[in-house]
Structure 1
Amino acid sequence: MEQKILRKGYTTGAHTFASFRSALDTLLATNEACITKTEKIDNDDLDVTKGCEIIVALDFCQKEFQLNPTSQKPHYFEYQTNSLEIFAGLGVGVVTKRGLKIAPPYPAINPAPLNAINEYFKIRTKEKQNLHLKCCVSVTDGENIAKQTANSKVGVLGGISILGTTGIVKPISSSAYIDSVKIEIEFAIQNEYETIYFTLGNSAFQVACSKASSEAVIEIGNFVYDSIELATKLKAKEVIFLCGIGKMTKVYQGFKNTHNRFGVIDFKKLQEDIEENLGYKVDIEETLTVKGISQELEKVGLLEDFYKMIAIKANKQIKQWFETSNVKAIILEQKEVLGW
């Protein structure tokens, strides 16, 4: 079967920069305020901003702008006698907590698109004198879109962040989700949380939040390997990885991503490992679910031993991936969870 070629797309930062270029070129040609809009091109990434409308307004004053009501200071750029101020409009977040790439209380627009905007402003205005422009970046329905992200948890209020490094979203890596995880890890480290919690699933998230501040709890989706790699590279002091027995079984069997599209549990191997480690042969003809196997082992008094076996093997697998990792895997159903 021929493999489908997944579509790449452009980041919110790339779209914002493109809109700014168009707006600035028009304003310099007409000497009048300008508003440009762009729709974020659809792609095959897991990205909640797909299809969103990004609006860039450029004017000589800011009185007509509809701004994010969160208290903010504009990003300010100066070149020769010219200046540019960039505000967060409706649907674009404002940073309110330290630990992100942008300090509070500035618009949540990442350094790469900001630098691109600044450089283009310099190029196009180098022959101008005393040109002072105001720019407002907005996203239609951005406040609602942001509810599907971790923005509010890390202190980005009132809208989405304008992100991007290279400008390209690569669908294979599901980069938008992984970038979000990276931001949350960096935020937790900067805010001096000694322990960070990775969770997979709503139940794991709720348990972790009952044990720690939600700022230190990160939902990693199915991106186990990528998230642990980030934590290792960023030198997180300690990470507790918490998920249910089913997903943890996949981790011990070497699945880097636990989504079903990447494969299913090898129950023959699971049966062999249980027999070798626990001295009991489960009936995989009767049940091909981890829950069913757990119920069978519970009847013979081996359930906690089963959990311990899977946890030990999952932790060994993580160490095989990253020898210097400070990640400890714990199964949600283990009694150990209650005694953290």
Structure 2
Amino acid sequence: MTEENKKLRTGFTTGTCSTAAAMASVLSIINQKEIELVEVELPKGNSIRIKIHSCKFEVNSAKCSVIKDGGDDPDVTHGAEIVVEVKLTDQIGQIKINGGNGVGIVTKPGLGLEINKPAINPVPKKMIIDNLMRVGKELLEEKGVIVTISVPKGKELAVKTDNPRLGIVGGISILGTSGIVIPFSTASYAASIRQNLDVSLAMGDKIVVLTTGGRSETFAKNIVDLPEHCFVQMGDFSGYTIQQCAKKNIEKAFVVGFIGKLAKMAMGVKQTHVKGSKVDMQFLADLVKKAGSDNTIVERVKEANTARHVLEIVKESKNSDFFKLLCKEVYLQMRKHSENKVPIEIILFDFDGIVLERYSGQ
């Protein structure tokens, strides 16, 4: 079996680890026995069985852990122990989620998280709450719980990530939008892109929607009425994917994403993985200036923490011309990568799925 045809092994996120450990803690309190395996329901309705690494319990508290598995695309958190301690409270039905040792604290804007609060993203929080309400329904009719997530080696791991640059201090982030880690940076992923395009063509469809991931695909499906097989998750391989569209005579490609990945595409970056490239704030500041913003806004963008932070600044300044200019730059770069062979429409979403701009060369 060649490397390109080999089936890649998926992993699971730190958010899924935290959810599984929280479930095991609650179940061990309820049953007063060690829990070895739990079935976590994921955001898209599917589920995954997670092995529990350690489990200690008392009458009103428990502490369980899970070892993070990044699958065939491991990051620095691969192999890390994610520990969750659960304590019962008298606040009936209340689930409070805290960050403990090794979970970073947010100190800068632009991450979609509260400043001075733990770097636990909204999707993992919802996963924990939803799963605890499912397995601990009767318990929560009489008690509340405090869930504290910690990562014993989180501080050491964090220095190997972008967290210090982003203003997340003291540990790692609890992340994940789907609960599953899908390997992106391999030849096999490129093969899956080609295969997806081939399926569309075989089904008689020559229009495709190229998305940067699961969330942008979900949002795109709300506004582009095409069959499921026409949606291609290009991940970080935007240049490669549009080149393949040209090679396979695709008649039109929608290119869909959020500001971070689109900003990199606009800069001409063909492979947009976060480790391989960073958003150039000077580039975005120049676009904001070109869009007519005053120097105060330009300077704020130049000093922005993340592309998401830029989005917040521009939205606040109500300068929508910036979004059109950004999409135009993406359009020009993607047209160039396709040797001007593929008609393209760029769609920029905000993080709530609202369309900020659609641009197709006019």
TM-score by length of 2: 0.47
Q: Which has the larger radius of gyration?
A: 1
